[in-house]
Protein backbone atom coordinates (compact mmCIF):
# COMPACT_ATOMS: atom_id res chain seq x y z
CA UNK A 1 0.00 0.00 0.00
CA UNK A 2 1.32 3.44 -0.90
CA UNK A 3 0.29 6.73 0.68
CA UNK A 4 -0.21 9.49 -1.89
CA UNK A 5 -0.88 13.21 -1.39
CA UNK A 6 -3.28 14.82 -3.84
CA UNK A 7 -3.88 18.50 -4.57
CA UNK A 8 -6.71 18.64 -2.03
CA UNK A 9 -4.28 18.05 0.85
CA UNK A 10 -5.97 14.75 1.65
CA UNK A 11 -3.93 11.54 1.61
CA UNK A 12 -5.28 8.47 -0.09
CA UNK A 13 -3.96 4.93 -0.42
CA UNK A 14 -3.21 2.94 -3.53
CA UNK A 15 -3.48 -0.80 -2.96
CA UNK A 16 -1.28 -3.42 -4.51
CA UNK A 17 -2.90 -6.17 -6.58
CA UNK A 18 -2.03 -8.90 -4.06
CA UNK A 19 -4.32 -7.56 -1.33
CA UNK A 20 -7.58 -9.52 -1.24
CA UNK A 21 -10.63 -7.80 0.22
CA UNK A 22 -14.30 -8.08 -0.52
CA UNK A 23 -16.00 -4.95 -1.85
CA UNK A 24 -17.82 -4.62 1.49
CA UNK A 25 -14.55 -4.70 3.46
CA UNK A 26 -12.99 -2.16 1.14
CA UNK A 27 -16.02 0.14 1.44
CA UNK A 28 -16.07 -0.09 5.23
CA UNK A 29 -12.33 0.70 5.38
CA UNK A 30 -12.85 3.70 3.12
CA UNK A 31 -15.77 4.99 5.21
CA UNK A 32 -13.85 4.63 8.48
CA UNK A 33 -10.87 6.46 6.98
CA UNK A 34 -13.12 9.26 5.75
CA UNK A 35 -14.83 9.62 9.14
CA UNK A 36 -11.48 9.71 10.93
CA UNK A 37 -10.16 12.36 8.55
CA UNK A 38 -13.21 14.61 8.81
CA UNK A 39 -13.50 14.33 12.59
CA UNK A 40 -9.82 15.17 12.94
CA UNK A 41 -10.30 18.31 10.86
CA UNK A 42 -13.40 19.27 12.84
CA UNK A 43 -11.64 18.96 16.20
CA UNK A 44 -8.64 20.82 14.85
CA UNK A 45 -10.83 23.74 13.79
CA UNK A 46 -12.54 23.81 17.18
CA UNK A 47 -9.20 23.78 18.96
CA UNK A 48 -7.98 26.75 16.91
CA UNK A 49 -11.11 28.76 17.71
CA UNK A 50 -10.80 27.91 21.41
CA UNK A 51 -7.20 29.18 21.48
CA UNK A 52 -8.22 32.44 19.78
CA UNK A 53 -11.06 33.00 22.26
CA UNK A 54 -8.79 32.30 25.22
CA UNK A 55 -6.16 34.72 23.94
CA UNK A 56 -8.80 37.42 23.38
CA UNK A 57 -10.25 36.91 26.87
CA UNK A 58 -6.79 37.15 28.46
CA UNK A 59 -6.12 40.38 26.56
CA UNK A 60 -9.41 41.88 27.78
CA UNK A 61 -8.77 40.83 31.40
CA UNK A 62 -5.10 41.88 31.54
CA UNK A 63 -5.49 44.98 29.40
CA UNK A 64 -3.59 45.91 26.24
Number of independent structural domains in the chain:
1
pLDDT in tens, the chain (64 residues): 555 444 456 666 666 655 788 888 888 988 988 888 888 777 776 777 788 888 888 888 887 6
Enter the pTM of the model: 0.47
State the burial class of residue 13 (Cβ atoms within 10 Å of its Cβ: 0-12, 13-18, 19+).
exposed
| 8 falls within a domain | no
| 31 falls within a domain | yes
Burial 24-46 (b: 16+ CB within 10 A, else e): eeeeeeeeeeeeeeeeeeeeeee
Helices (H), the chain: 23-62
Q: Which domain holds residue 61?
A: 22-64
| 46 falls within a domain | yes
| 16 falls within a domain | no
Amino acid sequence: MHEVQCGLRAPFSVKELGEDQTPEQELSDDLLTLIACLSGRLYSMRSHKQKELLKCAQTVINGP
